[in-house]
Amino acid sequence: MSNELYADGIGEITITGTIVRIDLMSLSATDRDANNNPKPVFRQRIIMPVDAFANAVDLMQKALGGLVESGAVRRIGDMPAAAAADIQTVQAGASNASPNFN
């Protein structure tokens, strides 16, 4: 049997030279923020060379394309203008905690 790890998302991606570190996070079952939302907590780190990261991104883009084709997810560009504007407004208010993207 293989080990599995669930993650709610990626907390941070750090690139140092030829090494990429991807921090996986999940929402805490016990810790809450000021709005009573679960706090994201670090769970595990994936470390890989840059070329493996580039291959992984390519593979994920292909998987996303399949999800879009099947209708499982929609891209913002495919939505009506008003709905896309609402999503972009909400995202603009959110700050990325990673120093790599600020």
Residues 17-45: what's their mean pLDDT? 95
Does residue 27 sit within a domain?
yes
Residue found by looking up tokens 């994201």 in the block: 40
Does residue 98 sit within a domain?
no
- Global pTM reads 0.68
pLDDT of residue 3: 86
Range of the domain at 50: 9-75
Does residue 2 sit within a domain?
no
Does residue 67 sit within a domain?
yes
pLDDT digit string (tens) for 52-90?
999 999 999 999 999 999 999 888 777 666 555 665 565
Does residue 14 sit within a domain?
yes
What is the Cα–Cα distance from 43 to 18, expressed in whole angstroms? Answer: 23
pLDDT of residue 78: 73
pLDDT of residue 89: 61
Does residue 13 sit within a domain?
yes
Does residue 33 sit within a domain?
yes
Does residue 30 sit within a domain?
yes
How many CA atoms does the CB half-sphere of 57 hold within 13 Å?
10
Number of domains in the chain: 1
